[in-house]
Amino acid sequence: MQKRILVSIVLLGGTMLTGLTGCKNNAERTAFGGGLLGAGIGAATGGGSGAVAGGLIGAGGGYLIGNAEDKKANSSASLAEENAQLRRELELRRENARLRQALRTN
């Protein structure tokens, strides 16, 4: 019973620290959190060797999930940037057409 309480406290504290680790992206953050969660579950169910295996599996799974989130975010940012560029080009074409019309009338 005390072991489960200790594991729960460590997991909760580790999860809170995930945001403070200085991880650069979702892949790193979720790998860290997944490793903590996996190690805690492994320690609670299988002892020391279970903690190692659980930590490795959790970190790997967390990394895969975070990496997918990063790719999705980068794709959205790229689309927004492309959209902004197209709007600028459209505005330049409209200004060009307006200036041509002004030259014709003069």
Residue 103 has pLDDT above 70, yes or no: yes
**pTM, rounded to two decimals:** 0.52
**What is the predicted pLDDT for the residue at 94?**
92
What is the Cα–Cα distance from 30 to 36, expressed in whole angstroms?
A: 10
pLDDT of residue 55: 77
* Per-residue pLDDT tens over the stretch 45-100: 777 677 777 778 888 888 888 888 888 888 888 888 888 999 999 999 999 999 99
- State in Å, rounded, how far the first CA of the chain is from the last one: 91
Q: Which residue has the tokens 């959790």?
A: 58
Q: How far, in Å, CA of 58 to CA of 50, rounded?
A: 12
- Nearest CA-CA partner of 39 in 26, 57, 20: 57
Q: What is the CA radius of gyration of the chain?
A: 26
Every domain of the chain and the residues it spans:
2-105
pLDDT at 41 over 70: yes
